[in-house]
């Protein structure tokens, strides 16, 4: 939706095809018996400060239609083996808190945040370079990618173990790993760093629930002349001389276009929507072979719960809870793949009703039933 709106805003004629009956992907919200739950996004960083991300969102949303509720001083709470640890906004604050908890690890903690800044700071160069032509990539591009790759070629666990042997501190450093769906032994440190850095100044929740993001972008998309088609399941991307020239839907409707942008994920796009590479298409063959080796990240089991009472009455926190029954380093993929109810797995809990300032007004409580005397 962001790409489509940016293209429409730049004067392109844009058709957005969505296979679901509701637009918005993981900003989706669903309702049962008058109560709503969100399915994906539960907090976003850098929205209450000037940032590139905020600027992009401002550019693709209708003015003042997307507001953010600050989640307050604490945005995440990790509970490791029953011990709570708060992630408080502001990097200096977090460093201070961690040094208080682990005074003998001062150096490790300071170096950790230095590496987080270096790895995440090199991200824009790494990703930006991908838009450059091949000659640039082979020359100056190498230098632009170097810093990020230095950290992405090491797993998060490898980097953390170089810093400290304190298992609890490693668990705390890795406690937000649920955000990227991989255990520290599998994730690239650069991605870990990007996520940690993203939330260092605190987090926000979209006022009116996550659907507000999609609604606001769509308003701008329509304003710039974009056209949306729902229930439009793309089955194939059409190629002509190695160039995408259109798509065909599952119902066999073809659409032709000067450019095709797929947001269905790299594996789906290259392994399912594009034809298998022929011998002449070495570029496509390379990408397809590489992607075929990638395993999907871990799945999750999600329980949507309705509680009786307001967030204030129930004292529900705005912050998220990441609950680990054992040290993060001792969790295995097998633990996460086991029965989520009985196994010693990671549990994540959040309360959208506590985060959204319009919740009470949008969901006024039903009159309490009279209590029998």
Q: Which residue has the tokens 């987080």?
A: 116
- Asked if 218 and 65 touch (Cβ cutoff 8 Å), the reply is no
* Closer residue to ligand FAD (CB): 15 or 264: 264
Minimum CB–partner distance for residue 71 and ligand FAD (Å) = 11
Q: Which residues bind ligand FAD (CB under 6 A)?
A: 17-20, 25-26, 40-44, 232-234, 263-264, 268
Structure tokens, 218: 């769509």
- Which residues of 29-137 form beta strands (DSSP E)? 29-32, 35-38, 44-45, 68-70, 74-80, 83-88
| Identity of the residue, 166 or 262, whose beta carbon is nearer to ligand FAD in the bound complex | 262
What whole-number distance in Å separates Cα of residue 331 and Cα of residue 78?
15
**Nearest distance in Å: CB 88, ligand FAD:** 18
- Please state the closest distance from residue 13 (CB atom) to ligand FAD, in A: 19
Between CA 110 and CA 116 the distance in angstroms is: 10
When the beta carbons of 268 and 281 are compared against ligand FAD, the nearer one is 268
Choose between 170 and 270: whose C-beta lies nearer to ligand FAD: 270
Q: Give the integer Cα–Cα distance in Å for 178 and 35.
A: 26
Please give the residue whose beta carbon sits closest to ligand FAD in the complex: 25
Residue with Cβ nearer ligand FAD (144 or 232): 232
Smaller CB separation from ligand FAD, 53 or 81: 53
Using the CB atoms, write b or e for 197-215: b if 16+ within 10 Å. Answer: bbbbbbbbbbbbbbbbbbb
**Least distance between ligand FAD and beta carbon 174 (Å):** 17
CA dist 267 → 26, 257, 287, 291 (Å): 18, 22, 10, 6
In 3-state terms, what secondary structure has residue 68?
Answer: strand
Q: How many helices (H) and strands (E) does the chain have?
A: 17, 14
- Smallest gap from Cβ 28 to ligand FAD, in A, equals 8
Strands 35-38 and 243-249: unpaired
How near is the Cβ of 294 to ligand FAD at its closest, in Å? Answer: 17
For residue 264, the minimal CB distance to ligand FAD (Å) is 3
Pick 1 or 94: Cβ nearer ligand FAD: 1
């Amino acid at each position: 939706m962001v790409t489509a709106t940016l293209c429409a805003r730049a004067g392109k004629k844009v058709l957005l095809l969505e296979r679901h009956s509701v637009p918005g992907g993981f900003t989706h919200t669903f309702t049962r018996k008058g109560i709503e739950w969100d399915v994906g996004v539960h907090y976003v960083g850098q929205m209450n400060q000037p940032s590139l991300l905020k600027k992009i969102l401002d550019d693709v949303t209708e003015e003042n239609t997307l507001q953010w509720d600050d989640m307050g001083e604490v945005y995440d709470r990790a509970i490791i083996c029953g011990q709570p640890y708060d992630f408080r906004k502001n990097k200096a604050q977090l460093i201070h808190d961690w040094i208080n908890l682990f005074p003998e690890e001062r150096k490790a903690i300071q170096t950790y945040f230095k590496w987080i800044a270096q790895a995440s700071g090199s991200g824009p160069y790494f990703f930006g370079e991908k838009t450059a032509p091949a000659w640039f990539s082979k020359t100056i591009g190498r230098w632009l990618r170097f810093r990020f790759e230095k950290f992405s070629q090491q797993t998060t666990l490898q980097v953390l173990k170089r810093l400290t042997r304190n298992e609890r501190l490693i668990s705390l450093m890795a406690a937000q790993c649920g955000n990227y769906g991989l255990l520290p032994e599998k994730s690239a440190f650069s991605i870990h760093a990007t996520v940690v850095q993203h939330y260092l100044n605190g987090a926000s929740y979209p006022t009116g629930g996550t659907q507000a993001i999609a609604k606001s972008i769509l308003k701008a998309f329509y304003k710039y002349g974009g056209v949306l088609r729902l229930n439009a399941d793309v089955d194939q991307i059409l190629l002509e001389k190695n160039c995408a020239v259109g798509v065909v839907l599952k119902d066999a409707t073809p659409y032709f276009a000067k450019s095709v942008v797929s947001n269905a994920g790299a594996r789906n796009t290259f392994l399912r929507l594009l034809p298998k590479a022929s011998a002449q298409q070495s570029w496509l063959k390379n990408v397809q072979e590489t992607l075929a080796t990638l395993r999907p990240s871990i799945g999750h089991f999600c329980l949507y719960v309705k509680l009786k009472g307001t967030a204030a009455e129930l004292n529900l926190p705005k912050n998220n809870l990441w609950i680990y029954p054992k040290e993060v380093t001792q969790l295995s993929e097998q633990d996460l793949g086991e029965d989520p109810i009985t196994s010693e797995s990671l549990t994540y809990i959040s309360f959208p009703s506590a985060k959204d300032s319009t919740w009470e007004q949008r969901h006024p409580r039903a009159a309490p039933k009279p209590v029998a005397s």
